[in-house]
Amino acid sequence: MPDLLIELFSEEIPARMQPRAAADLKARMTDALVEAGLTYAGAEAFVTPRRLTLTVEGLSPRSAETRERRRGPRVDAPEKAVQGFLRATGLSLSDLSIEEDKKGRVYVAEVVTPGRDAAEIVAETLEEVIRRFPWPKSMRWGAGSLRWVRPLKSILCLLSDEAGAEVVPLEVDGLRAGDVTRGHRFLAPEPFSVTGFEDYEAKLKRAHVLLRPEERAERIRHEAANLAFAAGREVVEDEGLLREVAGLVEWPVPLMGEIGTEFLDLPPEVLRTSMKEHQKFFSLREPGTGRITHFLTVANIEAPDGGAAILAGNRKVLAARLSDAKFFWESDLRVAREAAMQPWRDRLETVTFHNRLGSQGDRVRRIAALAREIAPKVGADADLAEEAARVAKADLTSEMVYEFPELQGRMGRLYAEAAGMRDEVAAAAEEHYAPLGPEDGVPEAPVSVAVALADKLDMLTGFWAIDEKPTGSRDPFALRRAALGVIRVVLANGLRLDLDTWIDTGLLRHKIELHRAEAGDGEIDALEDVLDEVARRGVFGAAWCAVLDARRDEGRDGGRPVPEDAPVLRAVGDLVPDLSTDLLAFLHDRLKVHLRAEGLRHDVIDAVLAMPGSDDLTLVVARARALGAVLATEEGENLVQGFKRANNILTQAEEADGVEYSFGADLRHAVAEEERALFAALDTADAEIAPALEAEDFARAMAAMAALRGPVDAFFEAVQVNDPNPILRRNRLNLLSRIRDTCLQVADLRRIEG
């Protein structure tokens, strides 16, 4: 069984594209080889800045011969049809046999496709893969027409077995495959030939190239830790940066240097961000204080002076960068201390958030209003929450955040502290963005929670109001992340929020802004009254009716009537409930995805979402967890079967008879002992479930429901529901209806699958 080695040697491949390219080369080559009839034992792909490499072990030397029987035209078919069949199969008339089938006597051909040598298949496959490689961006060079990520310089393609190695004959746009590669650009530029993968990897290492990305990353990690340790420092871990840097070098040589003392007062995150973004440096910190005092760069070369010249150059570039950062920091601090960030807040008015949703200043006003309203529900002081929301976005127009957008929030906190604001306000400036990713922590301080929820709900309701919802993979405003943020903030803090209220409030506030210019007399007034009323009544529908009724009454007394022709009012009144339902459904979808991670089935969640109070996510999850737990028991699982049986029989009977069997079953008509037992069991369950639900003790309610399993099973075992006696039958159907009602108080078991 031969082994295959491929190397596509090019000018420098962008680091961010490397991992994907290695995976694509492996998948596309092996898929195509298998498609062409070869098998293989294993394959692995590697990538460095200058080469993409694939090794395939235990490739079959030839593809197998295949035979295929093909039915042709009838023997008495026109000559043209027969000739066509011969052309298609590549056979002559004498090669065909004749068989009898339903159509009559037909020609049958046995088409034999001979096996092919692996080399031939590899050559064909590789050329195809090269020509159609899925680079995110590719280019042409020189006078050629081939496309690659950067100019492709050479192709190495070898098949090797015990007998030796052979170059696969292949030429792509004038590049002829060979057995030759090159080492490190500066340390070992001479070409050399190889005989197989082991030889290749070993020779590359001698030529100062570490082929495996993870080996390069490991060397960086290891040597960086040693250098840091020797200086009494520790490396600030950054896996993303490590991967990127490992993609920029073939022979990593970490070098450590000190940061100039004049920069040591900069906040650690500023030092870290500036060094990482501009220079791709790692940061080294002092254990204990957390101060960043050193940088670590990864050179691609072992220099005879031990890297002194390289370090000197890097230190100089860093000094220029950090001078900029220091300038930003100091001038920002002046704005924070002397003007309480007011100039930045003013500038937010001129920064567009979204062309239909107004400026960042408009957004801040909306968030502040919403944060104030949410505050009492999350245990925050309303004034503080509003103040925090008004400050939370100020840093967006600071010089530092303009330069390093990823420092938003973090700088906001530092500047708010410098401005002497309350700790809760400063903390919210940073924490209200959280959680940013699935691993990111969730704010817990009440003021931060209020602003975080207001921020995310304003985003969601805003984009819903202008119909810019995420579709498929398109989510340019990261609304899925915002929705997950709401869910996690609510759940982690055990918040009891009727989200409907806040969704309606947000939507309505956006709609008012969107229509302010075109609205007729009194329309905006009326909508603002509805907004106030939503805060009192909790939901849009009730608030809407209350306001409109009141105005109708006032109108009679010459007060503020509802305008006769109020198109905006009508449109908003029609639209908000639908948008609100749709947005809550979106949140429910994200909730399902979130809960799937903890193993809760989507049908369990559906069974709970069908219950009232589905906008109270904490309640939903408590109920779903209890239901999930009871369904995992044998009792619970069987009860669901019993419930479904009862429900099916009942539904069929109700449809057939055209009546609803909900009059209540009568114990007097209970004949069998099992029937009487079920009456008793239902009484017990009802007595238990109602107070348990009242107390939101879902586990107890579920247990009481599951306890019905025995009596229900026994009932079905012993009793025929469709008894010939119509009185007995009706009573039993009414009994089934009680089972259904009892269970449906707890969860909508009809939605449980299986």
Of the candidates 457, 435, 452, which has an alpha carbon nearest to the alpha carbon of residue 505?
A: 457
Reported as type and span, the H/E element at residue 57 is strand 51-57
Q: What is the per-residue burial (b if ≥16 Cβ within 10 Å, else e) of 371-393?
A: bbbbbebbebbeebbbbbbbbbb
* CB of residue 101 to another protein, shortest distance in Å: 57
Contacting another protein (CB under 8 A), which of 89, 279, 662, 684? 279
Site string for another protein, 119-138 (x = CB under 8 A): ------------------xx
CA distances from 586 to 123, 354, 460, 470 (A): 50, 22, 10, 10
Site string for another protein, 695-734 (x = CB under 8 A): ----------------------------------------
**Should residue 176 be labelled a site residue for another protein when binding is judged by CB under 8 A?**
no
Contacting another protein (CB under 8 A), which of 320, 517, 597, 656? 320
How many Cβ atoms are within 10 Å of 727's Cβ, its own excluded? 10
Q: DSSP letters along 503-561, please?
A: HHHHHHHHHHHHHTTT--TTHHHHHHHHHHHHHHHSSHHHHHHHHHHHHHHHHHTTS-P
Per CB under 8 A, the segment of 161-169, 313-321, 359-367, 568-576 that binds another protein is: 313-321
Site string for another protein, 231-260 (x = CB under 8 A): -----------------xx-----------
**Should residue 314 be labelled a site residue for another protein when binding is judged by CB under 8 A?**
yes
Contacting another protein (CB under 8 A), which of 75, 202, 317, 632? 317
Contacting another protein (CB under 8 A), which of 150, 212, 496, 644? 150
Per CB under 8 A, the segment of 142-150, 190-198, 438-446, 699-707 that binds another protein is: 142-150
**Should residue 153 be labelled a site residue for another protein when binding is judged by CB under 8 A?**
yes
DSSP 8-state class, residue 276: I
Would you say 114 or 142 has its CB closer to another protein?
142
**Degrees to nearest 5, angle at CA 654 with 649 and 660:** 120
Both tokens assigned to 566: 């109020």
**Should residue 312 be labelled a site residue for another protein when binding is judged by CB under 8 A?**
yes
Of the candidates 371, 395, 391, 392, which has an alpha carbon nearest to the alpha carbon of residue 383?
A: 371
Q: What is the per-residue burial (b if ≥16 Cβ within 10 Å, else e) of 205-244?
A: eebbbbbebeebbebbbebbeebbeeeebbbbeeeebbbb
Burial of 140 (0-12, 13-18, 19+ CB in 10 A): exposed
Would you say 310 or 736 has its CB closer to another protein?
310
* CB of residue 498 to another protein, shortest distance in Å: 41
* CB of residue 99 to another protein, shortest distance in Å: 57
**Should residue 316 be labelled a site residue for another protein when binding is judged by CB under 8 A?**
yes
Per CB under 8 A, the segment of 207-215, 296-304, 499-507, 578-586 that binds another protein is: 296-304
How many Cβ atoms are within 10 Å of 128's Cβ, its own excluded? 14
Would you say 131 or 140 has its CB closer to another protein?
140
Would you say 165 or 175 has its CB closer to another protein?
175
**Degrees to nearest 5, angle at CA 464 with 459 and 470:** 85
11-50 binders of another protein (CB under 8 A): 11-12, 14-16, 49
Per the CB < 8 A criterion, the answer to whether 694 and 619 are in contact is no
Per CB under 8 A, the segment of 54-62, 294-302, 477-485, 504-512 that binds another protein is: 294-302
Of the candidates 677, 632, 680, 651, which has an alpha carbon nearest to the alpha carbon of residue 744?
A: 651
Contacting another protein (CB under 8 A), which of 23, 309, 571, 727? 309
Contacting another protein (CB under 8 A), which of 55, 181, 297, 742? 297
Of the candidates 182, 122, 207, which has an alpha carbon nearest to the alpha carbon of residue 158?
A: 122
* CB of residue 71 to another protein, shortest distance in Å: 50
Both tokens assigned to 342: 């007011």
Would you say 62 or 147 has its CB closer to another protein?
147
* Rounded-to-integer distance, Cα 41 and Cα 60, Å: 9
**Should residue 403 be labelled a site residue for another protein when binding is judged by CB under 8 A?**
no
Would you say 253 or 572 has its CB closer to another protein?
253
Query: Can you list the pairs that 597-601 forms with residues at least 24 positions away whose Cβ atoms lie under 8 Å?
Result: 599/628, 600/624, 600/625, 600/628, 601/628, 601/753
**Should residue 186 be labelled a site residue for another protein when binding is judged by CB under 8 A?**
yes
**Should residue 190 be labelled a site residue for another protein when binding is judged by CB under 8 A?**
no
**Degrees to nearest 5, angle at CA 27 with 22 and 33:** 125
- Alpha helices, DSSP H, located in 262-307: 268-274
* CB of residue 405 to another protein, shortest distance in Å: 17
Per CB under 8 A, the segment of 316-324, 435-443, 512-520, 616-624 that binds another protein is: 316-324
**Should residue 141 be labelled a site residue for another protein when binding is judged by CB under 8 A?**
yes
- Binding region for another protein (CB under 8 A): 11-12, 14-16, 49, 137-144, 149-151, 153, 186, 248-249, 279, 281, 297, 299-301, 303-305, 309-310, 312-314, 316-318, 320
